[in-house]
Chains A and B, each alone.
Chain A
Amino acid sequence: METKIVQSLLLVLVVLSIGLVSWLFREKNEEAVFKKLKLFPRWFKFLGLVIVICAVSLPWIFQSLLVDGGNHLGSIYIILGLFLICFSRDKIEDEMSNTIRLKSFYRSFGAGVVGFFFLTYIENIVSDDFNQLHADTLLAVILGFYLVSYYVTKSKIRSAE
């Protein structure tokens, strides 16, 4: 029964992610790459925040959502929440904020590669077995670094006025 619930929730994630990404990338013509970034509406940011909060807390309330005694399902749903926060519009979205977004994606991808090597190294110092970094940790590092980079750059611009 518990496995069925977990499997259903994972299937929901697969369908949702396909739908969301298809909506983002639906323009098929080659010139779309030169246009402004397509982003989710602003309220998706709040939806993402709610998903993150629920993913952290709900499995501890409804214990049937725990897998092997850990909140593994929650850590996967956190990625969905972060994804929605990262890919939704700000109040004013213009070409400069688009440039900051692209720079932040560029930086966060680089940070993800370094984070992958670094955290795998730490994991292998702490543990006796050889362990590679889990995909959810890596994605959380990339999305988290993107958010930090984007908002720090924007606040620096604001404070430099």
Chain B
Amino acid sequence: MQNRLKIERAIKNLTQDELAKLIGVSRQTINSIEKGRYVPSTILALKISKIFEKSVNEIFELEDSD
């Protein structure tokens, strides 16, 4: 699964740590999501989309391999 988390974070001028605190996870979790190592749950994806005021589909995108 691909994601635009890093770009969206840059647009909002948020650090990984700030985003992590906003949604109640560790900075390592945000880093792992950005690098595509960890696929977040629906709840976490919805929390992220709420912060960036965009739909989940605009931030996360399925790949052919998924």
Contacts and interface: CB of A to CB of B under 8 A. Distances in A.
The answer to whether A and B interact is yes
Interface of A: 92, 94-97, 99, 154, 157-158, 160-161
Given A157-B32, A161-B31, A92 B41 contact: no
A68 to B, nearest CB: 47
Contacts, number: 31
Contact of A158 (B25, B28, B43, B44): B28
Contacts of A95: 25, 29, 40-41, 43-44
A65 B41 CA distance: 50
Interface of B: 24-26, 28-29, 31-32, 35, 37-38, 40-41, 43-44
A101 to B, nearest CB: 13
Contacts of A161: 28, 31
Contact of B26 (A92, A99, A160): A92
Contacts of B40: 95
Nearest to B41: A95
Nearest to B28: A157
B24 A96 contact: no
Contacts of A157: 28, 31-32, 37
A94 B25 contact: yes
Nearest to A94: B25
B24 A94 contact: yes
Which of A92, A94, A154 has most chain B Cβ within 10 Å? A94
